[in-house]
Protein backbone atom coordinates (compact mmCIF):
# COMPACT_ATOMS: atom_id res chain seq x y z
CA UNK A 1 0.00 0.00 0.00
CA UNK A 2 1.22 3.49 -0.82
CA UNK A 3 -0.08 6.50 1.11
CA UNK A 4 0.31 10.20 0.58
CA UNK A 5 -0.83 12.88 2.99
CA UNK A 6 -1.54 16.54 2.21
CA UNK A 7 -2.78 19.51 4.19
CA UNK A 8 -5.04 21.86 2.22
CA UNK A 9 -6.61 25.08 3.43
CA UNK A 10 -10.13 25.55 2.03
CA UNK A 11 -10.23 28.67 -0.17
CA UNK A 12 -13.01 31.21 -0.37
CA UNK A 13 -13.69 30.46 -4.03
CA UNK A 14 -14.24 26.78 -3.17
CA UNK A 15 -17.04 27.43 -0.71
CA UNK A 16 -20.74 27.58 -1.54
CA UNK A 17 -23.66 29.64 -0.32
CA UNK A 18 -24.07 27.35 2.68
CA UNK A 19 -20.52 28.22 3.72
CA UNK A 20 -19.34 24.66 2.99
CA UNK A 21 -16.62 23.39 0.67
CA UNK A 22 -18.68 22.83 -2.49
CA UNK A 23 -19.09 19.11 -3.13
CA UNK A 24 -17.90 19.47 -6.73
CA UNK A 25 -14.57 20.88 -5.55
CA UNK A 26 -13.50 17.69 -3.77
CA UNK A 27 -12.51 16.27 -7.16
CA UNK A 28 -9.75 18.89 -7.43
CA UNK A 29 -8.49 17.96 -3.96
CA UNK A 30 -8.38 14.26 -4.85
CA UNK A 31 -6.43 15.27 -7.94
CA UNK A 32 -3.85 16.96 -5.72
CA UNK A 33 -3.69 13.81 -3.59
CA UNK A 34 -2.98 11.41 -6.42
CA UNK A 35 -0.56 13.84 -8.11
CA UNK A 36 1.51 13.91 -4.93
CA UNK A 37 1.27 10.13 -4.51
CA UNK A 38 2.45 9.61 -8.10
CA UNK A 39 5.21 12.19 -7.60
CA UNK A 40 6.55 10.03 -4.77
CA UNK A 41 6.85 7.19 -7.28
CA UNK A 42 8.81 9.42 -9.61
CA UNK A 43 5.75 9.71 -11.82
CA UNK A 44 5.31 13.43 -11.99
CA UNK A 45 3.49 14.97 -14.89
CA UNK A 46 6.61 15.78 -16.87
CA UNK A 47 7.54 12.09 -16.73
CA UNK A 48 4.06 11.03 -17.84
CA UNK A 49 4.03 13.63 -20.62
CA UNK A 50 7.41 12.48 -21.85
CA UNK A 51 5.83 9.03 -22.23
CA UNK A 52 2.91 10.73 -23.98
CA UNK A 53 0.44 9.45 -21.39
CA UNK A 54 -2.69 10.99 -19.97
CA UNK A 55 -4.86 9.63 -17.15
CA UNK A 56 -8.56 10.40 -17.48
CA UNK A 57 -10.87 9.58 -14.58
CA UNK A 58 -13.50 7.00 -15.55
CA UNK A 59 -15.28 6.61 -12.23
CA UNK A 60 -15.61 8.53 -8.97
CA UNK A 61 -17.58 7.69 -5.82
CA UNK A 62 -17.78 10.05 -2.88
CA UNK A 63 -19.43 10.12 0.52
CA UNK A 64 -19.71 13.55 2.12
CA UNK A 65 -19.92 12.60 5.79
CA UNK A 66 -19.61 16.04 7.38
CA UNK A 67 -19.44 19.52 5.91
CA UNK A 68 -16.08 21.27 5.67
CA UNK A 69 -15.95 25.00 6.40
CA UNK A 70 -14.17 27.82 4.63
CA UNK A 71 -10.60 28.42 5.88
CA UNK A 72 -10.36 25.01 7.59
CA UNK A 73 -7.14 23.08 7.03
CA UNK A 74 -8.13 19.60 6.01
CA UNK A 75 -5.92 16.51 5.89
CA UNK A 76 -6.23 14.46 2.73
CA UNK A 77 -4.97 10.88 2.71
CA UNK A 78 -4.61 9.19 -0.67
CA UNK A 79 -4.12 5.44 -0.92
CA UNK A 80 -3.07 3.08 -3.67
CA UNK A 81 -4.12 -0.31 -2.28
CA UNK A 82 -3.61 -2.65 -5.19
CA UNK A 83 -1.43 -3.03 -8.27
CA UNK A 84 -3.10 -1.37 -11.26
CA UNK A 85 -4.15 -3.49 -14.25
CA UNK A 86 -6.11 -1.68 -16.90
CA UNK A 87 -7.38 0.74 -14.31
CA UNK A 88 -5.64 2.36 -11.40
CA UNK A 89 -7.82 2.94 -8.32
CA UNK A 90 -7.14 5.57 -5.68
CA UNK A 91 -8.88 5.77 -2.30
CA UNK A 92 -9.22 9.00 -0.35
CA UNK A 93 -10.03 10.04 3.19
CA UNK A 94 -10.39 13.62 4.36
CA UNK A 95 -10.15 14.63 8.01
CA UNK A 96 -11.06 18.02 9.48
CA UNK A 97 -9.02 19.92 12.07
CA UNK A 98 -10.67 18.03 14.93
CA UNK A 99 -9.62 14.74 13.34
CA UNK A 100 -13.12 13.71 12.25
CA UNK A 101 -13.39 11.72 9.03
CA UNK A 102 -15.45 14.05 6.80
CA UNK A 103 -15.14 12.40 3.40
CA UNK A 104 -14.51 8.97 1.89
CA UNK A 105 -14.00 8.50 -1.83
CA UNK A 106 -12.40 6.53 -4.58
CA UNK A 107 -11.66 7.21 -8.21
CA UNK A 108 -10.56 4.99 -11.09
CA UNK A 109 -8.33 6.16 -13.90
CA UNK A 110 -7.04 4.62 -17.09
CA UNK A 111 -3.78 5.13 -18.92
CA UNK A 112 -4.45 6.61 -22.32
CA UNK A 113 -2.04 7.35 -25.14
CA UNK A 114 -2.25 11.06 -25.92
CA UNK A 115 -2.09 10.57 -29.69
CA UNK A 116 -4.54 7.70 -30.09
CA UNK A 117 -6.68 8.67 -27.09
CA UNK A 118 -7.21 4.94 -26.56
CA UNK A 119 -6.92 3.18 -23.18
CA UNK A 120 -3.94 0.86 -22.79
CA UNK A 121 -2.52 -1.48 -20.16
CA UNK A 122 -0.41 0.17 -17.48
CA UNK A 123 3.08 0.56 -19.01
CA UNK A 124 5.67 -1.91 -17.64
CA UNK A 125 8.07 0.85 -16.56
CA UNK A 126 5.35 2.41 -14.42
CA UNK A 127 4.16 -0.91 -13.03
CA UNK A 128 7.70 -1.72 -11.91
CA UNK A 129 8.01 1.45 -9.90
CA UNK A 130 4.71 0.78 -8.17
CA UNK A 131 5.66 -2.85 -7.47
CA UNK A 132 8.78 -1.71 -5.63
CA UNK A 133 6.55 0.02 -3.10
CA UNK A 134 4.24 -2.92 -2.73
CA UNK A 135 7.09 -5.32 -2.04
CA UNK A 136 8.54 -3.15 0.67
CA UNK B 1 -40.93 9.22 -12.21
CA UNK B 2 -40.08 12.85 -12.85
CA UNK B 3 -37.65 13.81 -15.60
CA UNK B 4 -36.04 17.07 -16.53
CA UNK B 5 -33.92 17.69 -19.62
CA UNK B 6 -31.39 20.47 -20.16
CA UNK B 7 -29.01 21.41 -22.94
CA UNK B 8 -25.68 22.80 -21.76
CA UNK B 9 -22.83 24.05 -23.91
CA UNK B 10 -19.43 23.14 -22.42
CA UNK B 11 -17.53 26.31 -21.54
CA UNK B 12 -13.84 26.94 -21.98
CA UNK B 13 -13.26 27.38 -18.26
CA UNK B 14 -14.76 23.92 -17.62
CA UNK B 15 -12.31 22.08 -19.84
CA UNK B 16 -8.99 20.61 -18.74
CA UNK B 17 -5.56 20.28 -20.31
CA UNK B 18 -6.70 17.18 -22.21
CA UNK B 19 -9.41 19.29 -23.86
CA UNK B 20 -12.13 17.40 -21.99
CA UNK B 21 -14.86 18.66 -19.67
CA UNK B 22 -13.05 18.33 -16.32
CA UNK B 23 -14.55 15.47 -14.31
CA UNK B 24 -14.97 17.69 -11.26
CA UNK B 25 -17.24 20.04 -13.21
CA UNK B 26 -19.97 17.47 -13.79
CA UNK B 27 -21.18 18.12 -10.24
CA UNK B 28 -22.16 21.65 -11.26
CA UNK B 29 -24.09 20.29 -14.25
CA UNK B 30 -25.97 17.81 -12.08
CA UNK B 31 -26.78 20.72 -9.81
CA UNK B 32 -28.36 22.54 -12.75
CA UNK B 33 -30.34 19.39 -13.56
CA UNK B 34 -31.87 18.93 -10.16
CA UNK B 35 -32.51 22.68 -9.74
CA UNK B 36 -34.57 22.60 -12.93
CA UNK B 37 -36.35 19.40 -11.90
CA UNK B 38 -37.23 20.93 -8.53
CA UNK B 39 -38.31 24.16 -10.22
CA UNK B 40 -40.86 22.12 -12.19
CA UNK B 41 -42.30 20.99 -8.86
CA UNK B 42 -42.60 24.59 -7.73
CA UNK B 43 -39.61 24.06 -5.47
CA UNK B 44 -37.32 26.80 -6.65
CA UNK B 45 -34.67 28.14 -4.34
CA UNK B 46 -36.71 31.09 -3.13
CA UNK B 47 -39.41 28.64 -2.01
CA UNK B 48 -36.86 26.44 -0.21
CA UNK B 49 -35.22 29.47 1.40
CA UNK B 50 -38.55 30.76 2.62
CA UNK B 51 -38.91 27.40 4.39
CA UNK B 52 -35.35 27.89 5.71
CA UNK B 53 -34.20 24.68 4.05
CA UNK B 54 -30.87 23.75 2.48
CA UNK B 55 -30.04 20.55 0.62
CA UNK B 56 -26.44 19.40 1.02
CA UNK B 57 -25.19 16.51 -1.10
CA UNK B 58 -24.15 13.53 1.03
CA UNK B 59 -23.18 11.07 -1.70
CA UNK B 60 -22.28 11.18 -5.39
CA UNK B 61 -21.35 8.35 -7.76
CA UNK B 62 -20.30 9.00 -11.33
CA UNK B 63 -19.21 6.95 -14.32
CA UNK B 64 -17.38 8.88 -17.04
CA UNK B 65 -18.07 6.69 -20.06
CA UNK B 66 -16.77 8.93 -22.82
CA UNK B 67 -14.98 12.27 -22.77
CA UNK B 68 -16.92 15.43 -23.55
CA UNK B 69 -15.20 18.12 -25.62
CA UNK B 70 -15.10 21.88 -25.23
CA UNK B 71 -17.97 23.70 -26.98
CA UNK B 72 -20.10 20.54 -27.33
CA UNK B 73 -23.77 20.90 -26.43
CA UNK B 74 -24.60 18.05 -24.09
CA UNK B 75 -28.05 16.86 -23.08
CA UNK B 76 -28.49 16.26 -19.38
CA UNK B 77 -31.39 14.13 -18.17
CA UNK B 78 -32.21 14.25 -14.46
CA UNK B 79 -34.53 11.68 -12.90
CA UNK B 80 -36.34 11.39 -9.61
CA UNK B 81 -37.30 7.71 -9.51
CA UNK B 82 -38.60 7.23 -6.02
CA UNK B 83 -40.35 9.18 -3.30
CA UNK B 84 -37.78 10.72 -0.96
CA UNK B 85 -37.65 9.68 2.70
CA UNK B 86 -34.78 11.05 4.68
CA UNK B 87 -32.70 11.31 1.54
CA UNK B 88 -33.68 12.40 -1.93
CA UNK B 89 -31.85 10.58 -4.75
CA UNK B 90 -31.35 12.00 -8.24
CA UNK B 91 -30.15 10.02 -11.25
CA UNK B 92 -28.40 11.62 -14.21
CA UNK B 93 -27.56 10.72 -17.77
CA UNK B 94 -25.54 12.88 -20.13
CA UNK B 95 -25.62 12.44 -23.90
CA UNK B 96 -23.27 14.06 -26.41
CA UNK B 97 -24.32 15.61 -29.72
CA UNK B 98 -24.18 12.25 -31.49
CA UNK B 99 -26.60 10.82 -28.92
CA UNK B 100 -24.01 8.63 -27.14
CA UNK B 101 -24.45 8.15 -23.42
CA UNK B 102 -21.27 9.72 -22.00
CA UNK B 103 -22.02 9.87 -18.29
CA UNK B 104 -24.14 8.07 -15.68
CA UNK B 105 -24.41 9.34 -12.15
CA UNK B 106 -26.50 9.65 -9.03
CA UNK B 107 -26.40 11.90 -6.02
CA UNK B 108 -28.16 11.81 -2.66
CA UNK B 109 -29.18 14.89 -0.74
CA UNK B 110 -30.74 15.52 2.64
CA UNK B 111 -33.07 18.26 3.78
CA UNK B 112 -31.37 20.32 6.46
CA UNK B 113 -32.75 23.17 8.53
CA UNK B 114 -30.59 26.23 7.91
CA UNK B 115 -30.58 27.32 11.56
CA UNK B 116 -29.91 24.00 13.24
CA UNK B 117 -27.91 22.55 10.33
CA UNK B 118 -29.44 19.18 11.30
CA UNK B 119 -30.93 16.72 8.78
CA UNK B 120 -34.70 16.29 8.94
CA UNK B 121 -37.38 14.23 7.23
CA UNK B 122 -38.62 15.61 3.92
CA UNK B 123 -41.23 18.27 4.83
CA UNK B 124 -44.85 17.16 4.20
CA UNK B 125 -45.62 20.12 1.93
CA UNK B 126 -42.72 19.15 -0.34
CA UNK B 127 -43.54 15.45 -0.26
CA UNK B 128 -47.11 16.22 -1.37
CA UNK B 129 -45.98 18.09 -4.44
CA UNK B 130 -43.68 15.26 -5.43
CA UNK B 131 -46.42 12.66 -4.84
CA UNK B 132 -48.69 14.48 -7.28
CA UNK B 133 -46.18 13.73 -10.03
CA UNK B 134 -45.75 10.11 -9.05
CA UNK B 135 -49.47 9.47 -9.08
CA UNK B 136 -49.88 10.85 -12.58
CA UNK C 1 -19.00 47.66 -33.97
CA UNK C 2 -20.00 44.05 -33.43
CA UNK C 3 -22.26 43.06 -30.54
CA UNK C 4 -23.29 39.71 -29.15
CA UNK C 5 -25.90 39.17 -26.46
CA UNK C 6 -26.27 36.12 -24.21
CA UNK C 7 -28.57 35.17 -21.36
CA UNK C 8 -26.89 33.15 -18.60
CA UNK C 9 -28.51 31.76 -15.47
CA UNK C 10 -26.19 31.96 -12.46
CA UNK C 11 -25.39 28.45 -11.20
CA UNK C 12 -25.10 27.33 -7.63
CA UNK C 13 -21.44 26.38 -8.03
CA UNK C 14 -20.65 29.92 -9.21
CA UNK C 15 -21.97 31.62 -6.10
CA UNK C 16 -19.93 32.42 -2.98
CA UNK C 17 -20.64 32.43 0.74
CA UNK C 18 -22.26 35.87 0.47
CA UNK C 19 -24.77 34.39 -2.00
CA UNK C 20 -23.28 36.44 -4.86
CA UNK C 21 -21.84 35.34 -8.19
CA UNK C 22 -18.16 34.98 -7.22
CA UNK C 23 -16.12 37.77 -8.80
CA UNK C 24 -13.60 35.30 -10.21
CA UNK C 25 -16.36 33.58 -12.20
CA UNK C 26 -17.14 36.58 -14.38
CA UNK C 27 -14.08 35.70 -16.48
CA UNK C 28 -15.81 32.51 -17.60
CA UNK C 29 -18.94 34.48 -18.57
CA UNK C 30 -16.87 36.94 -20.62
CA UNK C 31 -15.30 33.93 -22.29
CA UNK C 32 -18.78 32.75 -23.32
CA UNK C 33 -19.52 36.24 -24.65
CA UNK C 34 -16.51 36.49 -26.90
CA UNK C 35 -16.81 32.88 -28.06
CA UNK C 36 -20.33 33.64 -29.27
CA UNK C 37 -19.26 36.93 -30.85
CA UNK C 38 -16.42 35.17 -32.69
CA UNK C 39 -18.79 32.37 -33.71
CA UNK C 40 -20.94 34.99 -35.45
CA UNK C 41 -17.89 35.92 -37.50
CA UNK C 42 -17.40 32.30 -38.45
CA UNK C 43 -14.48 32.08 -36.08
CA UNK C 44 -15.51 29.21 -33.91
CA UNK C 45 -12.91 27.23 -32.07
CA UNK C 46 -12.66 24.47 -34.64
CA UNK C 47 -11.80 27.14 -37.23
CA UNK C 48 -9.17 28.70 -34.97
CA UNK C 49 -7.71 25.28 -34.12
CA UNK C 50 -7.50 24.38 -37.78
CA UNK C 51 -5.35 27.49 -38.17
CA UNK C 52 -3.36 26.33 -35.13
CA UNK C 53 -4.21 29.51 -33.24
CA UNK C 54 -4.84 30.09 -29.56
CA UNK C 55 -5.96 33.35 -27.92
CA UNK C 56 -4.61 33.89 -24.42
CA UNK C 57 -5.95 36.80 -22.37
CA UNK C 58 -3.20 39.31 -21.53
CA UNK C 59 -5.24 41.91 -19.66
CA UNK C 60 -8.62 42.09 -17.91
CA UNK C 61 -10.26 45.01 -16.10
CA UNK C 62 -13.56 44.65 -14.29
CA UNK C 63 -15.89 46.84 -12.29
CA UNK C 64 -18.39 44.99 -10.10
CA UNK C 65 -21.12 47.63 -9.78
CA UNK C 66 -23.83 45.56 -8.11
CA UNK C 67 -23.89 42.00 -6.80
CA UNK C 68 -25.56 39.28 -8.85
CA UNK C 69 -27.57 36.63 -7.02
CA UNK C 70 -27.73 32.88 -7.46
CA UNK C 71 -30.33 31.74 -10.02
CA UNK C 72 -30.67 35.20 -11.61
CA UNK C 73 -30.68 35.30 -15.40
CA UNK C 74 -28.18 37.94 -16.43
CA UNK C 75 -27.79 39.51 -19.86
CA UNK C 76 -24.23 39.72 -21.10
CA UNK C 77 -23.39 42.11 -23.94
CA UNK C 78 -20.03 41.67 -25.64
CA UNK C 79 -18.64 44.36 -27.92
CA UNK C 80 -15.83 44.52 -30.43
CA UNK C 81 -15.40 48.26 -30.95
CA UNK C 82 -12.24 48.50 -32.99
CA UNK C 83 -10.30 46.53 -35.55
CA UNK C 84 -7.71 44.34 -33.84
CA UNK C 85 -4.00 44.92 -34.45
CA UNK C 86 -1.64 42.91 -32.33
CA UNK C 87 -4.26 42.71 -29.61
CA UNK C 88 -7.99 42.22 -29.85
CA UNK C 89 -10.03 44.06 -27.20
CA UNK C 90 -13.49 43.00 -26.06
CA UNK C 91 -15.82 45.12 -23.92
CA UNK C 92 -18.52 43.64 -21.73
CA UNK C 93 -21.64 44.82 -19.94
CA UNK C 94 -23.79 42.68 -17.68
CA UNK C 95 -27.37 43.58 -16.79
CA UNK C 96 -29.50 41.93 -14.11
CA UNK C 97 -33.16 40.96 -14.49
CA UNK C 98 -34.32 44.46 -13.53
CA UNK C 99 -32.18 45.91 -16.31
CA UNK C 100 -29.55 47.45 -14.00
CA UNK C 101 -25.99 47.55 -15.27
CA UNK C 102 -24.16 45.35 -12.74
CA UNK C 103 -20.76 44.88 -14.38
CA UNK C 104 -18.47 46.66 -16.84
CA UNK C 105 -15.31 45.02 -18.11
CA UNK C 106 -12.82 44.67 -20.91
CA UNK C 107 -10.24 42.09 -21.80
CA UNK C 108 -7.39 42.05 -24.30
CA UNK C 109 -6.22 38.93 -26.12
CA UNK C 110 -3.40 38.16 -28.49
CA UNK C 111 -3.23 35.67 -31.33
CA UNK C 112 -0.59 33.07 -30.58
CA UNK C 113 0.67 30.23 -32.74
CA UNK C 114 0.07 26.98 -30.86
CA UNK C 115 3.43 25.47 -31.87
CA UNK C 116 5.70 28.43 -31.25
CA UNK C 117 3.57 29.91 -28.45
CA UNK C 118 4.67 33.31 -29.75
CA UNK C 119 2.30 36.26 -30.27
CA UNK C 120 1.68 37.24 -33.90
CA UNK C 121 -0.26 39.87 -35.85
CA UNK C 122 -3.94 39.12 -36.40
CA UNK C 123 -4.05 36.78 -39.43
CA UNK C 124 -5.28 38.49 -42.63
CA UNK C 125 -8.11 35.96 -43.16
CA UNK C 126 -9.49 36.74 -39.73
CA UNK C 127 -9.05 40.49 -40.11
CA UNK C 128 -11.02 40.41 -43.35
CA UNK C 129 -14.01 38.77 -41.74
CA UNK C 130 -14.01 41.32 -38.95
CA UNK C 131 -13.67 44.21 -41.42
CA UNK C 132 -16.80 43.08 -43.24
CA UNK C 133 -18.79 43.75 -40.07
CA UNK C 134 -17.20 47.11 -39.44
CA UNK C 135 -17.96 48.29 -42.96
CA UNK C 136 -21.63 47.40 -42.64
CA UNK D 1 3.27 49.06 3.56
CA UNK D 2 2.22 45.56 4.52
CA UNK D 3 3.33 42.56 2.46
CA UNK D 4 2.35 38.94 2.52
CA UNK D 5 4.00 36.18 0.51
CA UNK D 6 2.52 32.80 -0.40
CA UNK D 7 3.69 29.83 -2.42
CA UNK D 8 0.94 28.11 -4.41
CA UNK D 9 1.28 25.04 -6.60
CA UNK D 10 -0.94 25.28 -9.70
CA UNK D 11 -3.55 22.50 -9.64
CA UNK D 12 -4.74 20.44 -12.55
CA UNK D 13 -8.30 21.72 -12.24
CA UNK D 14 -7.05 25.32 -12.54
CA UNK D 15 -5.38 24.80 -15.91
CA UNK D 16 -7.03 25.31 -19.28
CA UNK D 17 -6.82 23.57 -22.64
CA UNK D 18 -3.68 25.55 -23.51
CA UNK D 19 -2.02 24.03 -20.43
CA UNK D 20 -1.93 27.43 -18.69
CA UNK D 21 -3.37 28.53 -15.36
CA UNK D 22 -6.79 29.77 -16.52
CA UNK D 23 -6.93 33.57 -16.31
CA UNK D 24 -10.19 33.45 -14.35
CA UNK D 25 -8.52 31.44 -11.58
CA UNK D 26 -6.07 34.19 -10.61
CA UNK D 27 -8.93 35.84 -8.67
CA UNK D 28 -8.96 32.89 -6.26
CA UNK D 29 -5.18 33.19 -5.77
CA UNK D 30 -5.46 36.90 -5.02
CA UNK D 31 -8.16 36.00 -2.52
CA UNK D 32 -5.69 33.69 -0.76
CA UNK D 33 -3.13 36.50 -0.76
CA UNK D 34 -5.32 39.08 0.90
CA UNK D 35 -6.79 36.55 3.35
CA UNK D 36 -3.27 35.78 4.56
CA UNK D 37 -2.34 39.47 4.68
CA UNK D 38 -5.45 40.24 6.74
CA UNK D 39 -4.75 37.24 8.98
CA UNK D 40 -1.39 38.82 9.84
CA UNK D 41 -3.30 41.87 11.07
CA UNK D 42 -5.47 39.65 13.27
CA UNK D 43 -8.33 40.10 10.83
CA UNK D 44 -9.12 36.55 10.01
CA UNK D 45 -12.57 35.66 8.76
CA UNK D 46 -13.91 34.64 12.14
CA UNK D 47 -13.01 38.10 13.44
CA UNK D 48 -14.71 39.80 10.49
CA UNK D 49 -17.77 37.59 10.82
CA UNK D 50 -18.03 38.36 14.52
CA UNK D 51 -18.23 42.03 13.48
CA UNK D 52 -20.83 41.01 10.89
CA UNK D 53 -18.70 42.34 8.04
CA UNK D 54 -18.25 41.09 4.49
CA UNK D 55 -15.81 42.42 1.90
CA UNK D 56 -17.07 42.24 -1.67
CA UNK D 57 -14.67 43.04 -4.50
CA UNK D 58 -15.81 46.09 -6.49
CA UNK D 59 -12.94 46.34 -8.97
CA UNK D 60 -10.16 44.12 -10.30
CA UNK D 61 -7.45 44.87 -12.87
CA UNK D 62 -5.01 42.23 -14.05
CA UNK D 63 -2.12 42.00 -16.48
CA UNK D 64 -1.17 38.49 -17.53
CA UNK D 65 2.46 39.01 -18.52
CA UNK D 66 3.54 35.40 -19.00
CA UNK D 67 1.64 32.14 -18.88
CA UNK D 68 1.88 29.94 -15.80
CA UNK D 69 2.04 26.17 -16.30
CA UNK D 70 0.32 23.34 -14.49
CA UNK D 71 2.23 22.07 -11.43
CA UNK D 72 4.44 25.18 -11.21
CA UNK D 73 4.93 26.64 -7.74
CA UNK D 74 4.25 30.35 -8.04
CA UNK D 75 5.08 33.04 -5.50
CA UNK D 76 2.29 35.48 -4.82
CA UNK D 77 3.10 38.80 -3.17
CA UNK D 78 0.18 40.82 -1.80
CA UNK D 79 0.63 44.46 -0.83
CA UNK D 80 -1.42 46.95 1.12
CA UNK D 81 0.19 50.26 0.18
CA UNK D 82 -2.14 52.82 1.62
CA UNK D 83 -4.54 53.25 4.51
CA UNK D 84 -8.06 52.24 3.44
CA UNK D 85 -10.84 54.83 3.41
CA UNK D 86 -14.11 53.67 1.96
CA UNK D 87 -12.29 51.17 -0.20
CA UNK D 88 -9.33 48.96 0.60
CA UNK D 89 -6.94 48.36 -2.31
CA UNK D 90 -4.66 45.35 -2.61
CA UNK D 91 -1.82 45.02 -5.12
CA UNK D 92 -0.52 41.66 -6.30
CA UNK D 93 2.56 40.34 -8.05
CA UNK D 94 3.06 36.75 -9.11
CA UNK D 95 6.48 35.28 -9.87
CA UNK D 96 7.17 31.92 -11.51
CA UNK D 97 9.84 29.43 -10.39
CA UNK D 98 12.51 31.19 -12.46
CA UNK D 99 11.72 34.44 -10.67
CA UNK D 100 10.02 36.12 -13.65
CA UNK D 101 7.18 38.50 -12.90
CA UNK D 102 4.23 36.80 -14.62
CA UNK D 103 1.26 38.77 -13.31
CA UNK D 104 0.47 42.24 -11.93
CA UNK D 105 -2.92 43.05 -10.49
CA UNK D 106 -4.93 45.08 -8.04
CA UNK D 107 -8.36 44.74 -6.54
CA UNK D 108 -10.54 47.09 -4.51
CA UNK D 109 -12.94 45.94 -1.83
CA UNK D 110 -15.47 47.67 0.37
CA UNK D 111 -16.58 46.89 3.89
CA UNK D 112 -20.23 45.96 3.88
CA UNK D 113 -22.52 45.22 6.81
CA UNK D 114 -23.89 41.70 6.36
CA UNK D 115 -27.42 42.62 7.47
CA UNK D 116 -27.90 45.85 5.55
CA UNK D 117 -25.62 44.84 2.66
CA UNK D 118 -24.67 48.53 2.46
CA UNK D 119 -21.08 49.80 2.13
CA UNK D 120 -19.69 51.58 5.15
CA UNK D 121 -16.47 53.34 6.17
CA UNK D 122 -13.67 51.08 7.37
CA UNK D 123 -14.45 50.36 11.05
CA UNK D 124 -12.16 52.24 13.49
CA UNK D 125 -11.01 49.05 15.23
CA UNK D 126 -9.79 47.66 11.92
CA UNK D 127 -8.21 50.92 10.82
CA UNK D 128 -6.22 51.06 14.05
CA UNK D 129 -4.69 47.65 13.49
CA UNK D 130 -3.68 48.59 9.98
CA UNK D 131 -2.22 51.94 11.14
CA UNK D 132 0.05 50.14 13.58
CA UNK D 133 1.75 48.46 10.63
CA UNK D 134 2.05 51.66 8.65
CA UNK D 135 3.68 53.51 11.51
CA UNK D 136 6.32 50.87 12.02
Pairwise CB contact (< 8 Å): A31 & B24: yes
Pairwise CB contact (< 8 Å): B13 & D24: yes
Q: Are strands C101-113 and C119-120 parallel, antiparallel or unpaired?
A: antiparallel
pLDDT band at C136 (very low <50, low <70, confident <90, very high): low
What confidence score (pLDDT) does residue C30 get? 98
The beta-carbon neighbor of C24 closest among D24, D63, D65 is D24
What confidence score (pLDDT) does residue A32 get? 98
- Answer whether D31 touches A (CB < 8 Å): yes
CA distance C92 to C29: 10
Question: What DSSP character marks residue B119?
Answer: E
Contacts of B67 in chain A (CB under 8 A): 56, 117
CATH class of A2-135: alpha beta
Please give the mean pLDDT across all residues of chain A.
93
Contacts of A46 in chain D (CB under 8 A): 71
Pairwise CB contact (< 8 Å): D35 & A70: no
Question: What DSSP character marks residue A21?
Answer: B
Among B residues 6-25, those touching chain C with beta carbons less than 8 Å apart: 11-14
Contacts of B24 in chain D (CB under 8 A): 13
**Predicted structure pTM score:** 0.96
Using an 8 Å Cβ cutoff, are C38 and C51 in contact? no
> Which residue in C has a C-alpha nearest to residue B9's C-alpha?
C32
Question: What DSSP character marks residue A18?
Answer: T
Contacts of C57 in chain D (CB under 8 A): 23, 64
Q: How deeply is B77 buried, as exposed, middle or buried, from its count of CB atoms within 10 A (0-12, 13-18, 19+)?
A: middle
> Does residue D135 surpass a pLDDT of 80?
no
The ipTM, to two decimals, is 0.94
pLDDT band at C123 (very low <50, low <70, confident <90, very high): confident
Using an 8 Å Cβ cutoff, are C67 and C20 in contact? yes
Q: Provide mean pLDDT across the span D36-49.
A: 87
Please give the mean pLDDT across all residues of chain C.
93
Q: How deeply is A31 buried, as exposed, middle or buried, from its count of CB atoms within 10 A (0-12, 13-18, 19+)?
A: buried
Q: Where are the domains of chain B?
A: 2-135
Q: How far is CA A121 from CA A86, A112, A126, in A?
A: 5, 9, 10
Contacts of A56 (CB under 8 A, 6+ apart): A109, A110, A112, B18, B20, B23, B64, B67
Amino acid sequence: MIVSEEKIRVRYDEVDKMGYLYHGNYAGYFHVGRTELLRKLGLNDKELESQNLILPVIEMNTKFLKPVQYDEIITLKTYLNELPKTRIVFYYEIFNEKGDLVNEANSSLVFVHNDTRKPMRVPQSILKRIETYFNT
